Amino acid sequence: MWLFDLGTTTIKYRKRGSLNTMKIPNPLMRFGSDVLSRVSNLLKREKKAQEIIMDTITEIVENSALIASNTINTFMLRGLELSPLTVFPYGQKLGTSIITYNNKRIISLATLEGPVGSDSAVVDWFIQKRAKDLPILKMDFGTNIEISFIERDFVWTTSVPGGSVFSQGAALAGDIQIISWLNHLLSELLKGHVSRDGTINFGDATINPATCKAFMLAKAAIQTAIEELKDISGIIPKKLLLVGDLGMKLEPAILIGLGLVPSNLTIEKLENAILKALEELSHSIEEDLELLDRWIDKKVNYINFADKSLSDSRFNDKFLKNMNFHFYTV
């Protein structure tokens, strides 16, 4: 069996039992560098999207594959109509499914409600099963930022928009660029070197007011979601675990300094988290296809803050407060 982390820009894969991880560009990049533009360009062409992804995967595998992906990629992998992804709640819960394509057996894992895909779910399952120091706060930075509070019995999880600031498209254009962007933003804010119109210049790059506003909105969404999940779950995490490609590249000091993560937690990184989780799951799922589905139903609490922001003035007040730059704890 082959294991696949079907990402927005990159597909990582390896054979079960091997540590030799390979990667190729996601062939759907031609339809847009981020998932939102991709959905727009592939509406009513869902079978074409499925054909492109499946042809790529089945050229690699001999017999079978186990695949984790975000919600949008899961829809495209299965050839499902994309229009539900364009309206609230921006997705739907999908069970684990087997697809036979080019005589290969492809297992596409279950997703949660909204934009939380099987990639986030299987990593949370793996952390809950294997981690010795629960409870843990897990974060995965990208176009959407998945945030989970994981304890021994339950998981509380959500997804908030990271937008263009944290998109994998931006990271693909230059991993060092986004890191230096954040680092420079922090240093200039600390120095107070920001022009009256909000523009920051460094080298050949410019951080303009619109970009700063986008970052502040993303930061407020992250911080408010963390505070709300803590209040809802009653969990006080012992540490923060970063997963995902961008999380591996971002320095903890930058994340703390910009108020993106709590300042009082030990920060660790779990590289290739999705493939490690798939390796663990692969030893059971062929005999128990609905293993992850049952875990989601029994253990996972998905919190939809988009709905909450429409009806809760206290939530909105906290969001506005969190647009300011300040350290915070959980």
CA-based end-to-end distance of the chain: 41
Give the whole-angstrom CA distance, residue 308 versus residue 179. 32
* Partner residues linked to 140 by β-bridges: 146, 243
Confidence label for 170 from pLDDT (cuts 50, 70 and 90): very low
* E-only strand ranges, 20-96: 22-25, 64-69
Determine the distance from the C-alpha atom of residue 270 to the mean position of all C-alpha atoms in its chain, rounded to a whole number.
14
How large is the angle between the packed helices 118-130 and 273-285, nearest 10 degrees? 80
Q: Is 54's pLDDT higher than 50? A: yes
DSSP state of 330: -
- H-helix or E-strand spanning residue 172: helix 168-173
Beta bridge partners of 150: 136, 155
Residue 310 confidence (pLDDT): 53
- Assigned architecture for domain 2-118+275-299: 2-Layer Sandwich (3.30)
Residue 183: its pLDDT value, please? 62
45 - beta bridge partners? Answer: none
What residues contact residue 14 under an 8 Å CB cut-off, 6+ apart?
A: 2, 3, 20, 21, 22, 275
- What is the structure's pLDDT at 279? 97
Q: Which residues contact 99 (CB under 8 A, 6 or more apart)?
A: 54, 77, 78, 106, 108
- The CATH architecture to which 119-274+304-321 belongs is 2-Layer Sandwich (3.30)
pLDDT of residue 179: 53
Contact call for residues 268 and 240 (beta carbons, < 8 A): yes
- Strands 155-161 and 144-150 turn out to be antiparallel
Instruction: Quote the pTM value.
Output: 0.89
Contact 207, 184 (CB under 8 A): yes
Strand, coil or helix: 161: strand
Which pLDDT belongs to residue 171? 46
pLDDT tops 70 at residue 106:
yes
pLDDT (tens digit, 9 = 90+) per residue, 237-279?
Answer: 999 999 998 888 888 887 887 788 999 999 999 999 999 999 9
Task: Report the percent of the chain where pLDDT is more than 90.
Answer: 57
pLDDT of residue 12: 97
Q: Give ranges for CATH 3.30.420.480 in the chain.
A: 2-118+275-299
How many CA within 13 A on the CB side of residue 226?
24
